[in-house]
Structure 1
Amino acid sequence: MASPAGHRRATARLQPMAAPLLLALLLSCCCCRGGARSASSSSSSAAASPKVPAVIVFGDSTVDTGNNNGIGTILKSDFAPYGRDMAGGPKPTGRFCNGRLPPDFISEALGLPPLVPAYLDPAYGIQDFAQGVCFASAGTGLDNKTAGVLSVIPLWKEVEYFKEYQRRLRRYAGRARAKRIVSDALYVVSIGTNDFLENYFLFVTGRFAEFTVEEFEDFLVAQAEWFLAEIHRLGAQRITFAGLSPIGCLPLERTLNTLRGGCIEEYNQVARDYNEKLLDMLGRLMASHPGLKVAYINVYQNMFDLITNPSTLGLENVDEGCCATGKVEMSYLCNDKSPLTCEDAGKYFFWDSFHPTEKVNKFFAKKTLDLCYEQLL
């Protein structure tokens, strides 16, 4: 089912400081490197009595555990040095990180396997997905047009995969047990950054001409509301939904802001405005949908606290990524040919120019879990 897309035309008021540089570099590099893939193997359950039956994940690269590996996109990370610090030795899995992502840590902490499998990974089957599954796709967004920029899986398709998953689950576990798994699972959703940085501020979709930035925020919040209502209709009851981070402080955005230096404050203000609207919508949605619980994850504050006080986590660099120069590289630009990649990613907030290190992901996972125990579990 496609999401609603009604909107009105308006004149944009915020000038973009977009990043066509990265898109161009990725396009120029994609033909130079093969997507050598190493399928991750299934892990056994970490505990006999997990606190939830499954962790189910939707969203973008912050939570994509490998779905982009097998689709026709240049936005991949199934090669070294991605995954170099995975437990048991280097293992590129399609995670945009040197190791694990927040859903992995959340799953393990709840007594489930330490890796949440990607739904499109042929190394896994429904017996694995019954304990956790990830539908997320790096590069996607709340706006369907965002997914089209780099030919990744749109959010509506993630929902279709969720429906297909439920049909498979009923065949595997029986209707009653499948219903319990879906209703009692913890849902992890992280999405929205790409809608601004790869869509609105990048000119490529035309959204900048259709919406003012305030109207685009409203449009995205409406898309989020549709999505949450839809997965709730399909059985989801306990959901974590991440707000935007200080998107102007990502290393790539800092690089584009060299004339003024530091974070792009205009982008951070957009993130704060969007988050406020998102939080208001979540309150209204829960009031109108009895049985639905959504915990808002304040990623903005969590990230801002770390980049302003990095020593609290033993970090030394919060401005650049560990991979290569750390200024523009991600996906195929972050590869094992670079002699500049740092030796100790644990000293860095960012792994590449866009994504956190495993150490920071573990920190974010703990923040999410703390909120889950307060509001959902």
Structure 2
Amino acid sequence: MASIIFFISFFFSLFNISLQISTIASKNVSAVFAFGDSTLDGGNNNHMNTFFRGDHLPYGRDLPQHMATGRFSNGMLSTDYIVQSLGLKDLLPPYYLNPNVSDHDLLTGVTFASGGSGLDNLTIELTSAMDLMSQFKLFEDVLQRLKKSVGEVKTWNVIKKAVFIVSVGTNDLLCNAYLWPTRLIKYANDVSKYHDFLLENLEYFIQKLYGIGARKIVVTGLPPMGCLPLMVTINSMLPGPYWLKRLCNPKQNQECDAYNTKLHSKVHSLEATLKGSKIAFFDIYSPLLDMVQSPLKYGLLEMGPVCNMLDLTCVNASKFLFWDAMHPTQSGYWVLAQNGLKNVLPYVIG
């Protein structure tokens, strides 16, 4: 009985937060523009020659139309929940070669993110994804379309009140530090120096966004990569302390946490130097790790044999945190979105 009361209270508290955010957003947020990797990709990779595509079932299975849209999940992404809560639209659509995106749609935002993208050009060479500067050029294209459609004044009013979300970095560590440690050799196996290299590239990208008018910017940190199913599986197959065990790798988690600490500091310093900006660090590490360690608190099942190789996909994906080897289920993205709506967006919205 106590657990039922807890979940009811938890639901209504989040419902009230969403109502408050929606009310504020109706005045202060015009659009959401997303850049980065597969966690924000609404289908841009559908038209690209890359292995990293979510345009086939069972991806998208639990969306209202039960169709794969290119989202790397069984359903919605965090950005979809965010634009819903802001009262902007139901889903954040992809922009790249998407004939369904009208000039009117652009007024409330799109995503330019590409599954497999990163901050390191070596990552792009491995994944054939769209790098951040290519995504930025697409945003410049959007600006030109809006200026022709609604005029320059209205376009800049939209950009001034828009929220820009950037989520990138996971593929860089995965490809160049953990799977094929090419970059680590260059940095004498010092992952901290590789962090610095990635953060320099991220800083440059944020400055580019600011230079074209972005003022409300949310930057997402790294997840606890040592707990991603892919890393758990790989570590369980290698000789060492995790051999034949389904355990998180604490060393990899600590390295991601260290990167996030540096990123948090970088965000503060950028905000201090970029006049009139509101730049916020979005911590996804803590809620994801908490969901892994305390799944029942979120109504999730513990990682184990319930969803296995004999079941190609779980019948009830909403009870699990991960949908595939790297990406959360719709339920996982929902929890992250609520964290963002409660702890991050109020700051950048003002």
**Structure 2 SS opposite 1:134:** coil
For the pair 1:108 / 2:91, whether they are aligned, the reply is: no
Letter in 2 for 1:236: A
TM-score (norm 2): 0.86
Partner of 2:16: none
- 2:134 matched residue in structure 1: 157
1:242 equivalent among 220, 235, 253: 220
Structure 2 residue 256 is the aligned partner of structure 1 residue 271: yes
How far did residue 318 of structure 1 move? 3.8
Q: Distance in 2 between matches of 1:344 and 1:230?
A: 42
Cα deviations across residues 30-83 of structure 1 (Å, max 9, x unaligned)? xxxxxxxxxxxxxxxx99947511110011001100000001111101011110
Q: Is the 8 A contact 1:251 1:319 kept in 2?
A: no
**Quick check: 1:50–1:112 contact (8 Å CA) kept in 2?**
no
1:176 maps to what in 2?
153
Correspondence 1:366-377 to 2 at 5 A = 366-377=338-349
CA displacement, residues 197-217 of structure 1 (integer Å, 9 cap, x when unaligned): 02332327x322212311100
Match of residue 332, structure 2, among 354, 360, 367: 360
The alignment of Structure 1 onto Structure 2 pairs a total of residues equal to 317
* 2:344 alignment partner, SS class: helix
Evaluate the alpha carbon distance shift between residue 50 and residue 286 of structure 1 in structure 2; reply closer, same or farther with a 3 A threshold.
closer
Q: What residue is the counterpart of 1:15 in the other structure?
A: none
Deviation at 1:150, TM superposition (A): 1.4
Q: Which amino acid in 1 is paired with 2:336?
A: F
* TM-score when normalising by structure 1: 0.80
Tell me by how many angstroms 1:119 deviates. Answer: 0.7
- Cα gap change, 1:122 to 1:185, in 2 (>3 Å): same
Percent identity, please: 37
Q: C-alpha separation between the residues in 1 aligned to 2:94 and 2:304?
A: 30
Counterparts in 2 of 1:71-220, with a 5 A limit? Answer: 71-87=48-64, 89-120=65-96, 121-203=98-180, 206-211=182-187, 212-220=190-198
For residues 148-188 of structure 1, give each alpha carbon's deviation from its aligned partner in whole angstroms, at most 9, with x where no partner exists: 21111011111111111111111111100100111110111
Amino acid aligned to 1:94? G
In structure 2, distance between residues paired with 1:369 and 1:140: 25
Query: Aligned partners of 1:319 and 1:162: how far apart in 2?
Result: 42
- Tell me the distance in 1 between the aligned counterparts of 2:305 and 2:195: 28
Q: 1: CA distance between counterparts of 2:118 and 2:72? A: 16
SS of equivalent to 2:99: coil
Quick check: 2:26–2:86 contact (8 Å CA) kept in 1?
A: no
**If each structure's helix is expressed as a fraction of its own residues, which one has the higher value?**
2
Matched with 1:251 is 229
State which of 304, 329, 333 in structure 1 corresponds to 2:289.
304
Query: How far is the alpha carbon of 1:143 from its aligned partner?
Result: 1.4
Unmatched runs of 5 consecutive residues or more in structure 2? 1-21
Asked whether the equivalents of residues 315 and 347 of structure 1 are also in contact (C-alpha less than 8 Å), the reply is yes
Cα root mean square deviation, aligned: 2.0
